[in-house]
Amino acid sequence: MDRVVRRKTFFVALVVSIGGFLFGFDAGIISGVISYVTPEFGLNDAQTGWAVSSPSFAAMFSMLFAGRLSDMLGRKKILLVVAFLYALSALLSAYASSYEMLYITRMIGGVAFGAALVLAPTYIAEISNAENRGKLVSMQQLNIVLGFFAAFLCNNILNGLNGPGSLYLNDQTVWRWMLGVELFPALLYLILMFFVPRSPRWLYQKNFKEEAKAVLISLHGIEKAEAEEESIERNIEAQSKNKEVSIMTLLKPSLRFVLVVGLILGVIQQVTGINAVYFYATSIFKQTGIGTDAAFTSGVLLSFTTVVFTVLALFLIDRLGRRPLLLSGLVGIGISMLLCAYAFNNATYELKTETSGNLNMLDQDKLFQVSNIKFENDVDFKNAMKSTFGIREFTKNEGAIMEAATTMNPNLVLIGILGFIACFAFSLGPVMWVMLSEMYPNKYRGLVIGVIGFVNSLASWLVQQFFPWELSNLGNAMSFFIFGVLAIIGFAVLYRILPETKGKSLEELEKELIRE
C-alpha cells in the first residue's frame, strides 16, 4: 500500500512539474531560433533582446497575480489554463509572419510559464510531507533542465537537417519547426492535468474537508494523512485569527526576515547569468570561434550537464540540506564565470588572408579591406565587421566569421560554462524554489511567492534584454566578469542570513521563521 501511495504522489508531482519542462524547452529552443530570426527579420540588439526576453516580461506580471488567483480559484484550475496557453503560444509562434507577431505570441507563453514557475512548487509542497518535499519540489527544476536538454537536442537535429538538400527545412522554415515542436508536450500536459487532485491544503482552507482528507489518504496513506490533517487544521485555526491577506501585510515585521531572504534568492538566481547562458548559449559558443554547427552541439552538452547535476541535487537536497548546496554552488558559479572572463580577455581576432578565402559567402572586396588586421578585443572586431558588411550580413554569418578570426582557448570557455551550469543545477536552480515553497505560511504563500516571482522574472528579463547589448558594447570578457562578481557578492550575503529548512514540516517552519 505504501509503495502505491508513494507512486501516486510521485506521479502527481511529475505531472504538475511538466510546466517546468515546457519553460525549459521554450528557453532552450530560442537560443537556436534567434540565430535564424535575427537575420531574417533584420533585428538590432534591442529587438533581439526583446524577442528573447518578452516572455519573461509577461511572466513578471503573471507571477505577481498567479499565486493570488490560485488562492481564490485553486492551484489546479490555474494550471489547466497554463497548459492551454503553452499550447496556444507554440502553435501561433510557429506561424509568426513578423517580428511583432513573434514576440506577442511568445508573450502568451510567458504568461503560462510565469504562472507555472510559481504554482508548480507551491502545489507540490502542499501535497508533500517533510520527508520527501525537497525531492518532489526539485522535480520542477529537473523538468526544467530536461526541457532545456530536449530543446538543445531538437535545435541540433533540426540545424543539422537544414541545408540545400532538404525538401522542407531552410533558413526561413527551420526556426518555425523549432518553435512548433513545443505543441506536443504542451498538449500532453493539458491532458494529464485533468488526472491530478486539487491541493489538500487549499481544500482545507476552503472548508472542503472530506475531499481534502481523501486526497491526503490517497497521497500518503491513512496514518500519515491523519498527522498531516491535524497539522494543517491547527495551522488554519491559528491563521483564522489573523486579518485578510493583502500586499501591505507582507511588510509586517514578522514576515520581514523571510521576505528579504526570498527576494535576495530571487535576484541572485538571475543576475549571476543563468538565462544569459541558456537563452544565448548558441551565440556564446559562436563567440569562441568553434563555428555554428559546433555551437549547436555544445548546447546539447551544456543541457546534458544540467540534467546530470540536477538529478544529483534531487538526491542530496534532503540529505545535505538547502544551505550547503546553495552556498557551495555560488562559489562554483563565481569561479566558472571568472574563468570565462579570463579566456575571452586573452582572445585576439584577425581575418588572415589564408583563412579569409573560406568566407566565400561574403563580398570578397569588402573582406579584403578587413583582412590581416589584428584586434585585441571582440567589441572592436565585431564593430569593424558590422561597419564593413552591414549588421544583417554579419549576423547571418557570425559563426563562420568568428571561427575564421578568433584565436583563443575555447576549452576554457567550455569548461567555465559547463562548470557554471553544473553548479547552478545543484544549487540556485532547485534550492531557491524549494525554499520559497517552504519558508512562508499557507495563508501568505501564494501572494509572497508571486511577489518574489515577479522580482525574479524582472531580473531575468533585464539580463536577457540587455545581454546582446552587453556583448556588443562591453564585450564577452566584461560581461562574464560582472556575472562572476555578482555571484561572489551573493555568496557573502547569503552566508550570513540563509536559514536551513530541511526535514521540517511547513507548519514547523512557520513557527521557527515567522516571528509574530
Instruction: Look at residue 229 and tell me if it is in a domain.
Output: no
* Residue-wise pLDDT tens digits, 124-183: 878 877 667 777 777 777 888 888 889 888 888 888 887 666 667 887 888 899 999 999
3-state DSSP assignment of residue 363:
coil
Task: Tell me, yes or no, whether 295 and 382 share the same domain.
Answer: no
pLDDT of residue 68: 77
CATH of the domain at 284: 1.20.1250.20
Q: Is 50 exceeded by the pLDDT of residue 451?
A: yes
Task: Tell me, yes or no, whether 398 and 273 share the same domain.
Answer: no
pLDDT band at 245 (very low <50, low <70, confident <90, very high): low
Instruction: Look at residue 454 and tell me if it is in a domain.
Output: yes
Nearest to 328 by CA among 427, 261, 429: 427
**How confident is the model over 450-454, as a mean pLDDT?**
80
Task: Tell me, yes or no, whether 179 and 298 share the same domain.
Answer: yes
Which of 364, 384, 407 delimits the end of a domain? 407
Instruction: Look at residue 304 and tell me if it is in a domain.
Output: yes
Q: Is 70 exceeded by the pLDDT of residue 246?
A: no
Domain count, the chain: 2
Task: Tell me, yes or no, whether 384 and 476 share the same domain.
Answer: no
Task: Tell me, yes or no, whether 452 and 401 share the same domain.
Answer: no
* Residue-wise pLDDT tens digits, 490-500: 999 999 988 88
* Residue-wise pLDDT tens digits, 454-484: 888 889 889 888 888 888 889 989 999 999 9
Of 258 and 115, the one with more pLDDT = 115
Instruction: Look at residue 338 and tell me if it is in a domain.
Output: yes
pLDDT of residue 292: 65
Task: Tell me, yes or no, whether 383 and 425 share the same domain.
Answer: no
* Residue-wise pLDDT tens digits, 256-315: 788 888 899 999 999 998 888 877 777 787 777 776 677 777 778 888 888 888 888 878
Which of 360, 380, 407 delimits the end of a domain? 407
Phi, psi of 371 (to 5 degrees): -80, 150
Instruction: Look at residue 16 and tell me if it is in a domain.
Output: yes
Q: Is 90 exceeded by the pLDDT of residue 191?
A: yes
Percent of the chain with pLDDT over 90: 22
Q: Is 90 exceeded by the pLDDT of residue 39?
A: no
Helices (H) and strands (E) in the chain, counts: 26, 2
Q: Is 80 exceeded by the pLDDT of residue 107?
A: yes
Instruction: Look at residue 218 and tell me if it is in a domain.
Output: no
Q: Is 50 exceeded by the pLDDT of residue 1?
A: no
- Can you give the residue range of the structural domain that contains 271? 2-196+265-346+410-513
Q: Is 70 exceeded by the pLDDT of residue 507?
A: no
Structure letter (DSSP) for residue 376: S
**How confident is the model over 208-216, as a mean pLDDT?**
82
In contact, 217 and 46? CB cutoff 8 Å: no
Instruction: Look at residue 161 and tell me if it is in a domain.
Output: yes
DSSP 248-293: GGGGSHHHHHHHHHHHHHHHHHHHTSHHHHHHTHHHHHHHTTS-HH
* Residue-wise pLDDT tens digits, 357-377: 567 777 777 888 888 888 898
3-state DSSP assignment of residue 132:
coil
100 burial via Cβ count (<10 Å: 0-12, 13-18, 19+): exposed
**How confident is the model over 228-237, as a mean pLDDT?**
71
Q: Is 90 exceeded by the pLDDT of residue 86?
A: yes
Average pLDDT over all residues of the chain: 83
Structure letter (DSSP) for residue 406: E
Pinpoint the alpha helices (H) of 95-182.
99-127, 133-161, 174-180
For residue 458, what is the enclosing H or E element? helix 442-473
**How confident is the model over 32-47, as a mean pLDDT?**
86
pLDDT of residue 243: 53
pLDDT of residue 456: 85
Task: Tell me, yes or no, whether 286 and 326 share the same domain.
Answer: yes
In contact, 73 and 81? CB cutoff 8 Å: no
pLDDT of residue 235: 67
pLDDT of residue 168: 76
* The overall pTM is greater than 0.75: no
Task: Tell me, yes or no, whether 305 and 400 share the same domain.
Answer: no
Task: Tell me, yes or no, whether 332 and 362 share the same domain.
Answer: no
Task: Tell me, yes or no, whether 503 and 389 share the same domain.
Answer: no
pLDDT of residue 142: 80
Task: Tell me, yes or no, whether 309 and 383 share the same domain.
Answer: no
Task: Tell me, yes or no, whether 286 and 396 share the same domain.
Answer: no
Of 16 and 356, the one with more pLDDT = 16
Instruction: Look at residue 245 and tell me if it is in a domain.
Output: no
Q: Is 70 exceeded by the pLDDT of residue 355?
A: no
